[in-house]
Amino acid sequence: MNPSPRLGLSLDAALAALLARMTEAIGEAGFCDAALDLLGAVCMADSGGAMLFFRDQRPRRLLHRFNPAERSLPEASYLEGPYALDPMYQRFLAGAGSGVYWLRDIAPDDFFASEYHRQFYSRIGLSDSIDMVWRIDEDSALLFFIERSARHPGFVAADVMALELVRPIVAAASARHLALTHASSGPEADTLTHRKVQSTIDHFARSLLTQREREVLFHMISGYSAAATAERLATSEGTIKIHRKNIHRKLDIGSQAELFSLFIQCIPFATPDAPRDPLQAYQSKPAKA
């Protein structure tokens, strides 16, 4: 595969055929496949797919192409909780509009050294990713994601520019496709999982930590440095470092890895719509659980 982006995007026979195929697939089951083929021709990718984001339920994967030999995590692991820490998902919740988003542009400053990256991104064999987002409405969005594996260098700015050139075409086709297929919310299990994830974010360690410490904790597991956390919370870096020490002491943990693992393990024990600390339920579970 040629990793050089098609910045000029000359309309040759191959690109014209891919555009035609995507247009023909609007309203059909193969639309996401056709759209991803087009994006792969514009910008070389090792893996990718399509996903729906929702504000009130976990994401729904529509398509995913990847090499199983390069992954040490089950495909479904992202949807069991880690999606809540995904920089793109957090941008979506914050109201980010339609556009092309490069991971290195939107990730927290310590993301590539974070436990989330080490325990999730690195274990699915990725070096980089780009998301093309079409905002359906305030509460949902369709995104196509393309990824580079650790075997290849990451994307470059020209890749983003090339994808921006075809984004209006893909967005228009996606809008028509969703209108024809009447894409709806996922099953109740998706909603319940999301409610457990959100409850864990809202109440994790509330029985042991102050509200400010829990705000710092979420920034820690999301990949923000002490300096960036201080800026976002309008305080000093020294104060954030003190909060971090207190979090480790109160939770009786010695590393970021332990904190991340503890947060993820508490998700199944969360109680949606109740201000209960899932950490307490996790710690009181029977030993065999």
Note the pLDDT tens digit of each residue in 189-226. 678 889 999 999 999 999 999 999 999 999 999 999 99
CB 210 within 8 A of CB 273: no
Region 56-64: what's the mean pLDDT?
Answer: 92
Same domain as 169, residue 39: yes
**Residue finishing a domain among 122, 146, 181:** 181
pLDDT for residue 191: 83
pLDDT for residue 74: 81
pLDDT for residue 188: 64
> How much of the chain is in helix, strand and coil states, percent to nearest 5?
55, 15, 30
Region 65-69: what's the mean pLDDT?
Answer: 86
Listed in order, strand segments (DSSP E) in the chain are 47-54, 60-65, 99-102, 126-137, 140-149
Query: 3 pLDDT exceeds 70?
Result: no
Same domain as 26, residue 119: yes
Give 286's pLDDT tier (boundaries 50, 70, 90): low
Same domain as 208, residue 166: no
Same domain as 29, residue 102: yes
DSSP-based three-state secondary structure for 140 = strand
7 falls within a domain: no
| 283 conformational bin, left if phi > 0, alpha if psi -120 to 50, beta if neither | alpha
Give 67's pLDDT tier (boundaries 50, 70, 90): confident
**Residue finishing a domain among 151, 181, 211:** 181
Q: What is the pTM of this model?
A: 0.86
Same domain as 163, residue 40: yes
pLDDT for residue 49: 95
Give 64's pLDDT tier (boundaries 50, 70, 90): very high
Query: 263 pLDDT exceeds 90?
Result: yes
pLDDT for residue 223: 93
DSSP letter assigned to residue 118: I
Give 22's pLDDT tier (boundaries 50, 70, 90): very high
Same domain as 147, residue 20: yes
Token pair in block for residue 270: 């969360």
User: Is pLDDT larger for residue 268 or for residue 69?
Assistant: 268
Give how many domains the chain has, as a whole number. 2
Bridge partners for 184 per DSSP: none
Same domain as 103, residue 30: yes
DSSP letter assigned to residue 206: T
- 53-62, 95-104, 120-129: segment of lowest average pLDDT: 120-129
**Residue finishing a domain among 181, 198, 233:** 181
284 falls within a domain: no
Query: 131 pLDDT exceeds 50?
Result: yes
Region 240-257: what's the mean pLDDT?
Answer: 95
Region 89-99: what's the mean pLDDT?
Answer: 96
CB 230 within 8 A of CB 200: no
Supply the CATH number for residue 200's domain: 1.10.10.10
Alpha carbon separation from 256 to 27, 81, 84, 183, 268 (Å, rounded): 45, 17, 17, 39, 20
Domain that holds residue 46: 13-181
DSSP-based three-state secondary structure for 183 = coil
287 falls within a domain: no
Helix axes 211-222, 256-266, angle to 10 degrees: 100
pLDDT for residue 274: 86
Listed in order, strand segments (DSSP E) in 8-155 are 47-54, 60-65, 99-102, 126-137, 140-149
